[in-house]
Amino acid sequence: MQLSFSTAFILAAFTAVLTPVAAQSCSEATRFGVVSVTPSTLSPGDTFTVNANFTCSAQLGVRPQYTDYYIEVPVNNNGYEPPILLARRTLSTGSLVDQFTTQLPYAYYFASSSYVVMLDTTYPETGTDGSSYSVVGGVESPITLTNI
């Protein structure tokens, strides 16, 4: 079967439009996962649950090797507010969801600062020579700290 140039062009365009349909529902902002914290208003010692979803990450070609969760001050950090590591985790093979419960550490916090739970996703990329190297990208979820 021989296709004319115009038929082949239309077929190629049609295939290109339909192929990435699943990924089109995911925004670029979800490339490194989606993280949420429940409850999001916390005091030191409170227990909370962190949920991370990597469905869109997988659709956008990111397969997490490691996930690190921190409490951070995203803007106007005064230099005395280093990230506080909550957890370092590895997803189960084939899993696109991570969930864990932890406690807000009795750390030094500043009442005038805004805080977030930061998810740093480490994932492999292939180099120009075919070797693998690791890249890190992150997303955040705001939290409100009280009684600090």
- Write the DSSP string, 26-78: S-GGGTT-EEEEES-EE-TT-EEEEEEE-HHHHHTT---SEEEEEEE--SS--
Q: How far apart are CA 89 and CA 81, in angstroms?
A: 23
Q: How far apart are CA 5 and CA 8, in angstroms?
A: 5
What is the percent of the chain with per-residue pLDDT over 70, rounded to a whole number? 84
Tens of pLDDT, residues 105-121: 999 998 878 999 999 99
Q: How far apart are CA 145 and CA 148, in angstroms?
A: 7
Specify the pTM.
0.80
Say whether pLDDT at 4 is over 70. no
